Amino acid sequence: MKDLTPTRHMLDPIEIASRDEIEALQLERLKWSLSHAYTNVPHYRAAFDRAGLRPDDLHNLADLAKFPFTVKQDLRDNYPFGMFAVPRGQVKRIHASSGTTGQPTVVGYTENDLKHWGDVVARSLRAAGMQRGDLLHNAYGYGLFTGGLGIHLGADTLGLTTIPISGGMTPRQVRLITDFEPKGITVTPSYALSVLDEFAAQGIDPRTSSLEVGIFGAEPWTNAMRREIEQAFDMHAVDIYGLSEVIGPGVSMECVETKDGLHIWEDHFFPEIIDPNSGEPVPEGKMGELVFTSLTKEAFPIIRYRTRDLTRLLPGTARSMRRMEKVTGRSDDMIILRGVNVFPTQIEECLMATPGLAPHFQIELTKPDRMDQMRVLCEATDGSVDAAYAASALGDQIKQSIGISVTVDVRAPHSVARSQGKAVRIIDNR
């Protein structure tokens, strides 16, 4: 794999500024953001008033912990535009979550917000080794989802040539990668695996493709999956994180030279980690729920938003900005199986460590006789694999590393449902 490390003079000065400088900027912006939210969004005014707080009660960064949280339900209660802090006419763009589990959540961007979004995504793409003039195959979905258009905006800002292919039509993805020879691909890791399958179906060795870097996010994935994808494509695989409520992709990004967790673009997004049960801040470096406060957003300021994503904060390395460890999973996706907490990423790690199994999987939960049961549905890499042997090997691996007994169902190649975007990992039949 090629060395794609950007030179330091390409970086925004704030990326490598001193911590004092970063924190001074954060404090100034945080004061503005609290006051902007309080003045312009009835929800924030009421929430701060209930807590007996005014924006000018914030004197230092630690004071933020006194302010109330914002949760997804608050956004739903204010559907569609009730959380906007500017008149509707100043909102240049709307995005929304799919709303498969209820009311969709709607977010908005002013012209300045779009500029900042472009800047943080450009910074992220550059951290992955992309440079002005490079060709990018953008296979995140275009539309209300922030993935496609968010990456596109940053690619424009950085000066890339973008192929806005969006998700789906997998044979055409392979055709265009082969014909156009992009340097980078932006896609969910699970859909990257579908594209990988299609390379095999077309009899093309993906290692011979032009791709030098894959920028994967929008769902949890493991370092074991990174190794698999890097090996299969002979390219770098780096992690990009974000969520619509905070801006979309580009909240944090892994650097291609270190691949040691994701630097949070702390000049725009202030992170905290809390204990998900008590809501109290956890000591630096401990696992917990990630909480974000926007520092520059005009249309949709967000104060102490509980993401439900579990991770921990680490000091800066390749950049001065703090890192978050790869997300283990969402608290909503945590399965409690006979008292043991399990995340799909843990199953992914075990699967990747078992020979003969392809990286596609789903987890089915049932409750036959008042006891929760987990079945892992996966598939053999090819017809020569002894399915019974592979199933028992994966079962043992899961028992050993997670401590739970599960049933493993190893099916024929290509029988597990393929992802077109975010993978559906859990089928809950309880």
Interface residues with ligand DLL (CB under 6 A)? 97, 140, 145-147, 217-220, 239-244, 248-249, 307, 309, 327, 330
Residue of this chain nearest to ligand DLL (CB atom): 217
Taking the least distance from each CB to ligand DLL, the nearer of 55 and 154 is 154
Cα separation, 261 vs 286, whole angstroms: 15
Taking the least distance from each CB to ligand DLL, the nearer of 38 and 140 is 140
Question: Left if phi > 0, otherwise alpha if psi is -120 to 50, otherwise beta: which for 70?
Answer: beta
Least separation in angstroms between CB 35 and ligand DLL: 26
- Consecutive H or E run containing 169: none
Beta strand pairing call for 323-324 and 161-163: unpaired
In sequence order, what are the residues at sequence separation of 6 or more whose Cβ sits closer than 8 angstroms to the Cβ of residue 214? 184, 185, 186, 187, 192, 229, 233, 235, 236, 237, 238
Taking the least distance from each CB to ligand DLL, the nearer of 140 and 199 is 140
Least separation in angstroms between CB 96 and ligand DLL: 9
Taking the least distance from each CB to ligand DLL, the nearer of 6 and 249 is 249
Cα separation, 83 vs 239, whole angstroms: 30
Amino acid at 353: A
Taking the least distance from each CB to ligand DLL, the nearer of 96 and 378 is 96
Question: Given strand 426-428, what is the order of strands in its sheet?
Answer: 407-411, 373-380, 357-366, 426-428
Taking the least distance from each CB to ligand DLL, the nearer of 214 and 356 is 214
Structure tokens at 278: 């008590």
Alpha helix positions (H), 236-372? 344-352
Least separation in angstroms between CB 328 and ligand DLL: 9
Least separation in angstroms between CB 53 and ligand DLL: 26
Taking the least distance from each CB to ligand DLL, the nearer of 147 and 288 is 147
Least separation in angstroms between CB 251 and ligand DLL: 8
Best CA proximity match to 108, nearest among 99, 120, 117: 117
Cα separation, 221 vs 329, whole angstroms: 9
Q: Taking the C-alpha atoms of 128, 131, 133 and 137 in order, what is their torsion angle to the nearest 10 degrees?
A: 0
For the chain, what percentages of helix, strand and coil (3-state, to nearest 5) are there?
35, 25, 40
Least separation in angstroms between CB 318 and ligand DLL: 17
Question: Given strand 184-187, what is the order of strands in its sheet?
Answer: 161-163, 135-138, 184-187, 213-217, 236-243, 248-254, 262-264, 323-324, 313-314
Least separation in angstroms between CB 252 and ligand DLL: 8
Least separation in angstroms between CB 379 and ligand DLL: 23
Least separation in angstroms between CB 420 and ligand DLL: 14
- Whether the CB-CB separation of 263 and 323 falls below 8 Å is answered with yes
Amino acid at 239: D
CA 38 from chain centre, in angstroms, equals 29
Taking the least distance from each CB to ligand DLL, the nearer of 328 and 397 is 328
Least separation in angstroms between CB 89 and ligand DLL: 25
Taking the least distance from each CB to ligand DLL, the nearer of 114 and 387 is 114
Phi, psi for 354 (deg, rounded to 5): -105, 120
Taking the least distance from each CB to ligand DLL, the nearer of 106 and 243 is 243
